Amino acid sequence: MEKKIVFSGVQPSGGLTIGNYIGAIKNWIDLQDKYDCYYSIVDLHAITVPQVPKDLRKNTLDLLAIYSACGLDPEKSTIFIQSHVPAHAELTWVLNTITYMGQLSRMTQFKEKSRKSKENLNAGLFTYPVLMAADILLYQTELVPVGEDQKQHLELARDLAERFNNRYSPTFKVPEPLIKEEGARIMSLQDPESKMSKSDENENGYILILDEPDAIRRKIKRAVTDSIGEIKYNDEQLGIKNLINIYSAFSGDSIEEIENRYKGVGYGKFKEDLAEVVIEGLMPIQKKYKEIINNKDYLEKVYREGAEKANYIANKTLRKVYKKVGFIQR
């Protein structure tokens, strides 16, 4: 039996947070044994906000090293850089022609980004979810492991697959999101009502995968909590709820185990322990990252081989699409 196909990606826009790790990458590791997985570094997406070219190059290789350090294995999965597979941009164009403006203007992420960056409201930001749909549909993906914030984009990918299949003939698999219940939305340490994000102006709001132990201790110590004083997982205590989620993700302990362990214990002690749990969880990743990042030959081998395989599969789908819309074969 053929293995189901999994696709996901992260933007190389610098500094990956533990939100990216818990909500996405951490869940990708186990999928590698069961499915045929494609994990991309989505640099075409990254340029929808201004990037310094040399930083983008560095961040792309950094992200590849982080993928490896987290346990993505090029022997098992196809790991590649999005811009190395031209079919992504080509399919995006075709999908653009069946995407309604109204649907794109209802995308929460677009609305948020356009509120924040009025002076750079480029067309790429608007059609960003169409590129994401192309990423997914090119590989006949069935499962897309992402954090909660990508759910709406996934709906669009499903809609476009169905619309194309209906208008022409069955061409794309209709993908399903794979969103874990816990950890799918890690919140800012400074404002537990908004998502943890690397674009937060306040660096105390997020922890980066590559943060030093002292920075992790400091940020967790300053994390916003409440005056209730109990370690309980509930919506009245969003700060504590978020910290329990982080604790659970890194320790593997269940929410109940954590609540029981910290019954009657103060926030100070809980935060100290949490910091150590996070530091310990990130240590092997940071260590491996430092080994890999200087091995440019290895990194190059991984992304070249990944691109070769990805191009082969993506072009198969693109050829079908071009034929169906009526383009003369090249």
Give catalytic residues, as residue numbers: 113, 195, 198
Residue 11 labelled as part of a binding site: yes
| Positive or negative: CA dihedral 90, 309, 8, 275 | negative
Interacting span for ligand TYM (CB under 6 A) from 131-139, 231-239, 246-254, 258-266: 131-139
| Cβ(188)–Cβ(196) below 8 Å | yes
Strand partners, 53: none
Identify which of 154, 156, 159, 161 has the alpha carbon closest to the alpha carbon of residue 176.
154
By CB under 6 A, the residues from 155 to 184 that bind ligand TYM are: 184
Determine whether 203 is exposed, middle or buried from the number of CB atoms within 10 Å of its CB (0-12, 13-18, 19+). middle
Residue 114 labelled as part of a binding site: no
Identify the residue among 31, 125, 137, 144 touching ligand TYM (CB under 6 A): 144
Q: 186 in helix, strand or coil?
A: coil
Residue 247 to residue 276: CA distance in whole angstroms: 10
Q: In the structure encoding, which two tokens stand for residue 36, read together?
A: 């045929």
CB 19 to ligand TYM: min, Å: 3
- The answer to the question of residue 19 lying near ligand TYM (CB under 6 A) is yes
Residue 241 labelled as part of a binding site: no
Identify the residue among 146, 207, 274, 277 touching ligand TYM (CB under 6 A): 146
Identify which of 187, 198, 145 has the alpha carbon closest to the alpha carbon of residue 11.
198
- The answer to the question of residue 43 lying near ligand TYM (CB under 6 A) is no
Return the number of the residue (10 or 314) whose C-beta is nearest ligand TYM. 10
Residue 326 labelled as part of a binding site: no
* C-alpha pair distances (Å), 303 with each of 52, 141, 314: 21, 20, 16
By CB under 6 A, the residues from 183 to 212 that bind ligand TYM are: 184-186, 195-196
- The answer to the question of residue 246 lying near ligand TYM (CB under 6 A) is no
- The answer to the question of residue 142 lying near ligand TYM (CB under 6 A) is no
Identify the residue among 5, 24, 69, 314 touching ligand TYM (CB under 6 A): 24
Binding site for ligand TYM (CB under 6 A): 7-11, 19-20, 22-24, 42, 45, 132, 135-136, 144, 146-147, 149-150, 184-186, 195-196
